[in-house]
Every structure is written in C-alpha cells, then in structure tokens.
Structure 1
Amino acid sequence: MSVVSLAEAREARRSQESPFTGGKGYALLHRKIMELPFYRTDSEAVHLWVHIILSANHAPVVVPTEFGETLLRRGEFITGRNKLELETGVTDSRIKYLLNKFEKMGMITRISNKKFTRIFVVKYDDYQPNFVPTECQQSADAKPQPERASEEVVPTECQQSATDNELNNNSLDKSNECASAAENQESKKPSLSCQDVVDAYHEILPEAPSIRLLSEKRKNLIRTFWKKAGVITRKLDNKPFTIEAWREYLGYISLNCRWMLESRPNQKTGTTWRKRDFEFYLNDNTYLKVREGGHDDNDR
C-alpha cells in the first residue's frame, strides 16, 4: 500500500462515526447475511438476526450498573426475550428457539443471570466492518478480549437454558440494570449438578427431611441460592461458593445448629421448633447468619 493510501485510510479511521451507538445513528450490513442457511426459508430468523446485528455495540463501551461499571465488547449488547419480542414482533417462544439455534450454529454466545442476558455476535466483523480498507484492518480475533470476572459455578441441572434464564421485563434502558459477571468463553467450568447438592445434604444432615423429588422449583432455588451465597462468600472469604463450601456450611450446622435438625420446645415462645426442611438451608439470610454464628444452639 502506498503512503498516500495509508494516510487516507488513517484519516478515514479518525473521522468515521461509530455506525451504531446506544440505539442511535446508522449501521451497515454486509451481504454475507444472504449466505445464512435459513435466509430463504425462515424470515423470522433473518429478522431476529438482523436486529441482533443492529443492536450490538459497534465499539467497546462501559455501561454503569448496580454492580459497578461493566465493559461490553464490540459486537456485544444486553437484552432479554421480552425486550426482543417488543422490538421485533417475533413471539417469545420463537425467540427462545431461534436464540438456541443461533448459539448451536456458533453465531452468538450468551451469558445470562436471573434477569439479564448479554449476547455477543461471534463474527461481528463479518457483518459490520469498519470503514477502513481491508489491508489496514486487524482481525477481530487478533485483538485481545477485555478481562471478564469469573462467575460462580452454578450446578448445571439448576441452570435453565440460556433462553429460559433471560430477562423477562422491558426495563433494560435503566442504567442500574445489567448482566452479571460471566464466564470466559474459552474456559471450562468444573462439573456440578443439583443432584450433587442434594446428595451432600442427605449425607451430612441425615436427620433432616429427605428429598424424594428434585423438582424444577427446587433446582431454581438451588441456583438462586448458589449465586447469592457466592456474593456473601466472596465478601467474607474472597473466594467463590463451591460444593466444598456447601458441605462446610452443612457440616457447621450439623455440629452447632442442632435446633434445625430436631423438634424441640422453643423456650422463648412456648411453641415447638420443627425440623427445618431443605428449602430453609437454601436461603442466603440463613447462610449468612450461620456464617456469623447467629444460628448457633447457644443462641436459642
């Protein structure tokens, strides 16, 4: 490339505006989209895919959240099924199916928490190139990805599919809402299931009421507790909440909180304490009080 053309390319880079920023401005769309296998057969899939491309941030952006500032990569944005349904007119059930399809095809990756989903377009540069000659562009794969905080390992059976676990409200414009910290795409989490959690409960607290059915409600409760307990554990111990931490928690109860495992008179109220069930232990307030010694037998 000549010096003149390189200078022109640099000037173009400096003067261009981001094609998409915060839902305003304009965006380009590469004809590569016509190569999608469903381009001629599924108009709703094409509609949703175009919407995802146009919604993704054209450049890295820091957004304020209730957890502090969060960095979104180029090609990434925060959304949810209800919001996508409102914006596209595609039904919630179809959005759920199509997002799963896009992910299986390697078109997107998703990171979800109880309320939010972050969607990242894997080959965003293929659909939304910069206004710079190809020779001057570095591959998006060559750019280092921003560091991302590791997420608590949640039991896999408790994790709803990413689409089941997405936002079901339309308030994503609020600045205090965002996706949770998430896993690094390349790293693999240790295997952990809801059944592992239940098995530890039965093993360490044999006197407690047994669990005969691991229902969806209980799975969701385990998942919610795991994340909340993770926040507490990080603040107290500066480490994640793991299956070992769960076993230590139950072990402490078996030694120091016997009142939870027995039916005994309550001297303060004159009533009778009943054995606490599985759901009682899956409460972040219970966990915190146990960690602080506030549920010990000598306090009863």
Structure 2
Amino acid sequence: MDEGWIKLHRAIRKNWIWEDPLKLKWWLDILLQANHQERKILIGNEIVLIERGSFHTSTVKLSERWSVDRKTVKKFLQLLQKDNMITLKTSKKGTTLKISNYKDYQAFSEPQKDKGVDNSMDKGMDKGMDNSVPTPSPDKSQISPNKVDTNKNEEELKNENNDKEGEEGEEITPPSPPPLSIPTKYHKLIFDQWSEITYRTWFMDSEIVDNGQELIIKVDSELRADAINRNFSKYLGILLGKNIRVEIKEKSI
C-alpha cells in the first residue's frame, strides 16, 4: 500500500517505542502496510479475508524489508504482541498481523466525544496503541498503547484529602500545589513519560526502591496503589525490564 495516509496521534511520543528510532520506524511501517479496509487475498490455493487494520506477511519478507535478520523481526513482533499492540496468526503460509484497536484511532471521521471514541495513542500502552503513546493505561498504554483513565480516581483522591469544605457563600481560594519533587531517576523517568498532573497525583509522594530484581513503589493509600497497578505497572515493567511491585507504606504511630 503505497498511497494514502494514516493518522498519527501526538501521544505516540509518550509510548516506549518512541525512545527507539529503529523500532519506531518499523512500527510506522506496520501502520502503513495495514489494510484501511477488509479485502480478500489468495494464499496458495485458498482465498483468505484480511480484516481492516491487518495485513499478511512473513518474517522473511519483513527481514528483507527492514534489512535485519529474522530473529530480530520475530523478537520485535513478540514485543508488540506482549504489549497488546498487535495480534499474530501464524501458519506455514505466513503470518497475518493485526493492529489492535485499529478502527478506534484510524477512523476516517473526526473524533466524536458523544460516542466515546478515544483517538489517543495512550491506549496503546494497555490495549495495543489503541494507543500509539497511548496512555499506554500501560485496557489506556503505544509508553501505547491500552488509555489511562485517571479522571475518576483523581477526583476520588481529591475528595479523600479534602477534610474541610467551604461554607455556602464563602469565597474559597484554592491552595497552591506543593513544589515539584523528583527525588530519584525513576521519578524522573515517570515524570517524562506522563503529564505533570499524573506524576503529582500518583507518584510524587511515593518511595521508589530498586532491589536489583524488581522495582518497589511505596505509596500512602490503597487508591494510589490500585491506580498504579491498573494503569501504569505493566508499561513500566516493559520499559525498565523489571517486575513492578506496589506496596502501601506503613503508617507511623
């Protein structure tokens, strides 16, 4: 497919694939090769329907196309599949590659908020670049992919910390946010991957410890622990190549 165009959301810059120029090039080539509408092709003596967002290929073809060995291609495709960015159907006649949630962020119409269509690549983190940066969220990660939806949890956190409400008719001046704190290289990495609001809400007050085998994130509430586990742990694990464990800090008496 050498004609036409594809959509590319700016959130791809938050996905792990953005950090590797070569893998990013391969990913974009996959997006460009995918069928924009379903069609039938002849494979051997069999007519096969290739869905929209899919294309039929092989590790041999991709290795020649990308000028790398088949082992490198296979590892890359497995990485994409592990992060739910693609699904693979392999047979003796080749491999059918399908981009996850292709229809959501490659729709021809403009985003329709009333229909709940989310064109963010942040989904790619958790649902295969539903998206490319994805909010990741890390069914929100393309860094995709699966979108991290923290609006509801952030509102709950605000209510949890709001001990006093202003009386009716009283003018309330919102407090200034605390100074930004980035104590470790892992805090810095998290801050760079997501927005400042996301970092302040879920990670700034956490303790992050690397024991060599795993990264331990200690937070002060079950709400934060649950949000990190559901929306961020998977993507962080892939990004760092470590197991991520979230713990709740022991409260001092």
TM-score (norm 2): 0.41
**Largest Rg, 1 or 2:** 1
Structure 1 or 2: more strand by fraction = 2
TM-score (norm 1): 0.35
